[in-house]
Amino acid sequence: MSEVVPFQEEVEAADAVLTGAVEYTRHFMDEVRRGKIVDCREALPLVDQLIASATRNQSAVISLAKLKVHDEYTFHHSINVAMFSIIFGRSLGLPLEAQRVLGLAGIYHDVGKARIPEDILKKPEQLNDEEYSLIKRHAVEGYRVMRDSAVLHRDVLLAIMQHHERHDGQGYPRGLAGQAISPLARIISLVDVYDALTSNRCYRKASTPTTALGHIYHQQGAHFFPTYVERFIKCIGVFPPGSLVRLTDGSIAVVRSVNPDYSLLPTVSVYLDQRLRRCQPRIIDLAQAQADGLNLGILGCVDPRPLRIDPALLLR
């Protein structure tokens, strides 16, 4: 079991892990486009590294994954889904081997998109019915691509096929509902939507984490397995690590870690003062600050684009 390490120390280690995992994803997607069979054994060390990083400091790896600016959505999305699924699985009490299977499912869940024309995947306008039907084929295509990989766990194949199924039966490709959806697919489907909403897409800007969680919360019990949404929010926090937030004194901070007892009062690092000027970073445990009589809290999440800052650089 990995030993818990300080946030700043793990940021650097997590950066190397995530970068390597993204490069692997780019490689195997290119292989699939050329019609080659994926050797899933190559992904196992990467999954173990993701698990180890999340164990050493979960907040650091979440922060880095969501703050780094990415141009190639599909590759980074696959790794983010793997990482968030592992973390959520850990919070649900899944054993190590199940976490490894979850990590593989996350990495490969969108592999079928390698069989979809890129002009459709990257179309900035709304898809027409024919294009959307083609996009929806990626779940089945992914299953077909990966079933030839003999070492792949059956639960990974089910998660690939079912990650767009919905609890109320309104998903695809088979319209499965409730218990008919595999346990891992229930986790992947929720995480998939969260990461998609909080990522920049060719047709839509990223939502803030709180906006995304609010959207998902209103779909609990319908699109997502009952209790999973609330347990996911408890796992990553109302203001997840990496969230850029405005404090009640007007300063701007990045959430470093979640306080499990006070979900609205995480530990933050203040980087911009009330006049939005760079200041010496200050780490504040908001729950402790309030216990000490300091009336300081979070007003809400902030979109970094108008501030013209790269939040990932604030972690360095």
Q: Taking all residues of the chain, what is their mean pLDDT, rounded to a whole number?
A: 91
Could you read off the pLDDT of 102-148 as tens digits, one per residue?
A: 999 999 999 999 999 989 988 888 899 999 999 999 999 999 999 87
Could you read off the pLDDT of 23-51 as tens digits, one per residue?
A: 999 999 999 999 988 888 889 999 999 99
User: Other CB atoms closer than 10 Å to residue 297's CB: what's the count?
Assistant: 15
Q: How confident is residue 315, by pLDDT bands cut at 50, 70 and 90?
A: low
Distance CA 105, CA 146 (A): 11
Cβ–Cβ under 8 Å, residues 21 and 71: no
Distance CA 266, CA 212 (A): 18
Distance CA 15, CA 13 (A): 5
Could you read off the pLDDT of 155-203 as tens digits, one per residue?
A: 999 999 999 999 999 999 999 999 999 999 999 999 999 999 998 887 7
The pTM for the full model equals 0.93
- 59 Cβ contact list (under 8 Å, min separation 6): 7, 241, 256, 257, 258
